[in-house]
Amino acid sequence: MKAWTNVTTGAGEEIVCVQVDDGDPFAVLALGRHTVALTRDECRRIADALRAASHRHPARW
């Protein structure tokens, strides 16, 4: 199985891309021009932080 996702700007420029293959021990995270290989544990920690951020209530100004 291959899994991937990306986030782009309104103009179509890629901001974030994540790719992973079943046989590969690492996931590849690209942020703009920078690329990093993440372990499964690092992926889980990042996903947990993003999930927590997504559940926050909007700030009241």
What is the per-residue pLDDT for 19? 92
Look up the domain containing 16 and give its range: 2-55
Mean pLDDT value across residues 1-18: 87
pLDDT in tens, 15-57: 999 999 888 999 999 998 899 999 999 999 999 999 999 998 8
Residue 37 lies in a domain: yes
Residue 61 lies in a domain: no
What is the per-residue pLDDT for 60? 66
What is the per-residue pLDDT for 1? 64
What is the per-residue pLDDT for 49? 95
What is the per-residue pLDDT for 13? 87
Q: How many domains does the chain have?
A: 1
Residue 43 lies in a domain: yes
CA count, 13 A, side-chain hemisphere, 59:
2
Residue 60 lies in a domain: no
What 3-state DSSP class applies to 46?
helix
